[in-house]
Structure 1
Amino acid sequence: MYESFYGLEKKPFQITTDPSFLWMGKKHREALSTLKYGVMDNKGFLLLTGDVGTGKTTLINRLVEDIQDRTYTAKIPDPGLSKYDFFRMVSRYFGLPVEVRTKSDFLDPFSRFLNDAHKEKKSVLLLIDEAQRLKHDLMEEIRLLSNLERQDAKLLNIFFVGQNEFNGILMLPENRALMRRITITYNIDPLDSAETCEYIRHRLKTAGAGYEIFSSAAMEEVYAFSNGFPRQINIICDLAMFFASQVSQRTISRKIVSQCRERISFPVNEPTAETKDNIRAPAPTTPYQPIKKRRWTDFRSAWAMKSAAVLFSLALLVIFTPQQYKNGVGQWIRNTYAVYFSPADRLMGDDAPPTAGEVSPPVAEADQDHLSPSEESQPISPVDLPLRKIKPPPDIRFPEPGKQKSSVSGRTPVPSKPSAPVAESTESDPAPPADAIDWLLEKRRQESAQ
């Protein structure tokens, strides 16, 4: 679309894994040479890991292209298969004319194929892409395939290519047997700022560019967006070249890259980093609104007229109420105040009202005769009623335990010397014996005899 505007032969930043655009930086050259050595020397298990978009698939395609004359290669793009589907796919990629229904249907012809390849002095490479999708049972079957070997050489090379989380899968206890068989591992890191600029220039030059299309500031903005991941570099550079061609700008500036970055960035609300010394309260859900002072803006004359009418009605009610009702209300108010609000010392006197459970003494008949009719009709206030005074209990003294009991026949016991003066007994009340119960019984007999 924009190739003719920039004078290019083809698009330089395609998402497809084209080996012709492979930029062989220091990291990629080292990875390619290491993996090529492992395959050609029959090292058995190999592992290549890297983050998403670091160029693993492009590097594998270049490796397969370089060793295709000396190796039989089968590439499994998606290992999320069942055991027998995996065996069928391997048989088809290696060109084995067998129908796999059982495991033995696969192992016998596959063993003959490995031995024939060894006689031809060719290596056999089973390449499994997206290895992080492997299940444990299939990983165990792949490990058992490595047992098809000779005493002097490995017949099968198994190459795992996966994302960084595949390293954690291999560290699980159930996969430790497979992990210990891996001989060569390599991890691809993202590009740095200088490598990103070289990567952009290499792809533009491979596409046929005759001048520097991206400025230095624009390439720095590309690195700030992509963080050195080749896939993200291809995405933003392709979009920047398209927008620059629409405005007829042959050199791409930082401003164009920034505009493209805003179009393809996803908004992410990241929480503010907080420490123990920097703790913020959660933001309010509603915006702050200052408190407004309430003013009498809605005051109306109708309200004033209603208030005046109510007050006037209350005044008329007070003026024209009969006197007897006024006296009754006043007396009720005084009584209520005296009962509930009078001082405590007033209630302690003779005029205090009787407490609960007490009965006021009746008014003598002589006093009732002298009451006037107005006093008879007037109810007696609880305040005017005197308190009933309770008599103290009788003083009953019992003799000391050392004294003798008195007999029923009336014999007088011999008194012992009292340690303290004892009150003299009267004729009606003889001195109590030593035992209080016998004394009470004797006293009751004397009372009943009288």
Structure 2
Amino acid sequence: MYESFYGLKKKPFQITTDPSFLWMGNKHREALSTLKYGVMDNKGFLLLTGEVGTGKTTLINRLVEDIHGKAYTAKIPDPGLSKYDFYRMVSRYFGLPIEVRTKSDFIEPFSRFLNDAHEEKKSVLLLIDEAQRLKHDLMEEIRLLSNLERQDAKLLNIFFVGQNEFNSILLQPENRALMRRITITYNIDPLDQSETCEYIRHRLKTAGAGYDIFSAAAMEAVFDFSRGYPRQINIICDLAMFFSSQVSRRTISRKIVSQCRERISFTMDELPAETKNNSRTPAPKTFYKPVQKERRSWFTAGRALGVAVVLLVLGSGVYFTPDPMKDRARRWAREAYQTYFPVSGKPSGVEPPIVNASTSGNAEVATVVPDAPQQAVKTPLAVEPLLRMPNRPPDFNLAAAIDDLPRASVSAAPSAANSEPPVAAVTTSSAELPDPADAIDWLLKKRKQETGQ
């Protein structure tokens, strides 16, 4: 978009890893020569670490380009694979015409390939990028691949490339066997301010710029934003060149870089402090803590044990109580319930009848159903203990009733016991005394006459 405005052949600050724009500072040249020595001398395991955007991938591409023709290389871009998928990818990148279903399907042809490469005096390099994504089981499989060797030479070079947190992964106890096999390590640090300026000038010159498009103050602002990370340098410089071309300014000032910085939606976080091994400490891990419900202070283990003991004692006492005492307690509970919770429709003041507990099991009472024909329904008292007994009728003394009756003459008495005296003969006179045998009939007729009057 802005190439013609600045007179460039192509964009100088692309995010892609174009090897033609590779800038080799002192630390990059040192890293490249160290890693190249490890590969060509068959040192076994190598490790390259660095923060995100420090140029690790660009350096690896340059390494593969330099050893081309001297070594067989295979690069695994993402090691987040299963064991057999990893074997299939390695076989495909090395050009092995095999179909991997089991581990033996891979090991035997791969071992022949390593021996043939050694006979050709060529090294074999297996590059594993983003090594921090490796899982422990796959790391063990990779470690066991290094056992495919001769007594006098290593046949396979395994090159780990990852971020700084891969160092902490290797320090875990389960990975100590792999860590002790790594022979060469190198950590890439960010660029300083002078290296940042050289990096910007190199990419502009490679793109065809005939003058310094960025002023010294602008490059200083770029370093303040990127803190020496090449990827962040590319992002801010590309945006600054675009905005400067929009306002028709061929030289980019600090003000333009500051305005572009405000339009970028992210900023670089503070980096962790460096350690003695020139590797940055990993970010602190935060662990999930479940929300714990607040316990009541009064509920403790001792109190719970005390309540359990009390309930056990009470239950044992109820179980071993004699039957008479149990009957007495049930009767008391029944009477208390009837007193405070009377049956619906009946007054609470009426005292319930007292039933003898010794005969209550066999006693039967007659209940009268309201608004129904009067009939005696015999029901055990144990089934309906809340029904009230009817009041007992008063005692009737026949002898006393006869003594209270007026005496009648013998002549006026009927001659027969079953014959009824005429109504006219019945009188209230004291002279007419009925026969004692007919006293009941006489008394009933007298009450009928009084009622009729």
The answer to whether TM tops 0.5 is: yes
Structure 2: segments with no counterpart, 5+ residues: 271-453
1:265 positional shift:
4.0
Q: Give 1:259's aligned residue.
A: 259
SS of match in other structure, 2:126: strand
1:266 positional shift:
3.2
| Matching residue's letter, 1:81 | L
Q: 2:109 and 2:196 mapped to 1: Cα distance?
A: 48
The 3 A distance-change label for structure 1 pair 127 and 267 is closer
Q: 2:197 and 2:251 mapped to 1: Cα distance?
A: 15
| Matching residue's letter, 2:71 | T
SS of match in other structure, 1:244: helix
Q: Please say if 1:37 is aligned against 2:45.
A: no
1:174 positional shift:
0.2
Q: Please say if 1:212 is aligned against 2:212.
A: yes
Q: Give 1:163's aligned residue.
A: 163
Q: Give 2:83's aligned residue.
A: 83
Q: Give 1:67's aligned residue.
A: 67
1:178-204, Cα deviation, whole Å (9 max, x unpaired): 000000000000000000000000000
Q: Give 1:417's aligned residue.
A: none
Q: Give 1:104's aligned residue.
A: 104
Q: 1:269 and 1:179 mapped to 2: Cα distance?
A: 30
Q: Give 2:369's aligned residue.
A: none
**Structure 2 contact 74–93 (Cα < 8 Å) conserved:** yes
Give matches, 1:122-141, under 5 Å: 122-141=122-141
1:83-126, Cα deviation, whole Å (9 max, x unpaired): 00000000000000000000000000000000000000000000
Runs of 4+ deviating beyond 6 Å: 267-270
Q: Give 1:13's aligned residue.
A: 13
Q: Give 1:52's aligned residue.
A: 52
Q: Please say if 1:201 is aligned against 2:201.
A: yes
| Matching residue's letter, 1:173 | P
The 3 A distance-change label for structure 1 pair 133 and 119 is same
1:68 positional shift:
1.0
| Matching residue's letter, 1:170 | L
Give matches, 1:49-448, under 5 Å: 49-266=49-266
1:233-275, Cα deviation, whole Å (9 max, x unpaired): 00000000000001100000000000000000437999xxxxx
1:142-198, Cα deviation, whole Å (9 max, x unpaired): 000000000100000000000000000000000000000000000000000000000
| Matching residue's letter, 2:3 | E
| Matching residue's letter, 2:108 | D
| Matching residue's letter, 2:14 | Q
The 3 A distance-change label for structure 1 pair 182 and 268 is closer
Q: 1:72 and 1:238 mapped to 2: Cα distance?
A: 36
1:344-382, Cα deviation, whole Å (9 max, x unpaired): xxxxxxxxxxxxxxxxxxxxxxxxxxxxxxxxxxxxxxx
Q: 2:188 and 2:20 mapped to 1: Cα distance?
A: 19
SS of match in other structure, 2:263: helix
Q: 1:60 and 1:269 mapped to 2: Cα distance?
A: 26
1:77 positional shift:
0.0
TM value normalised by structure 2: 0.59
Q: 2:112 and 2:192 mapped to 1: Cα distance?
A: 47
The 3 A distance-change label for structure 1 pair 221 and 265 is farther
Q: How many residues are paired up?
A: 270
SS of match in other structure, 1:184: strand
| Matching residue's letter, 2:13 | F
Q: 1:173 and 1:7 mapped to 2: Cα distance?
A: 57
Structure 1: segments with no counterpart, 5+ residues: 271-450
CA RMSD, Structure 1 to Structure 2 (Å): 1.3
Q: 1:71 and 1:8 mapped to 2: Cα distance?
A: 37
| Matching residue's letter, 2:32 | L
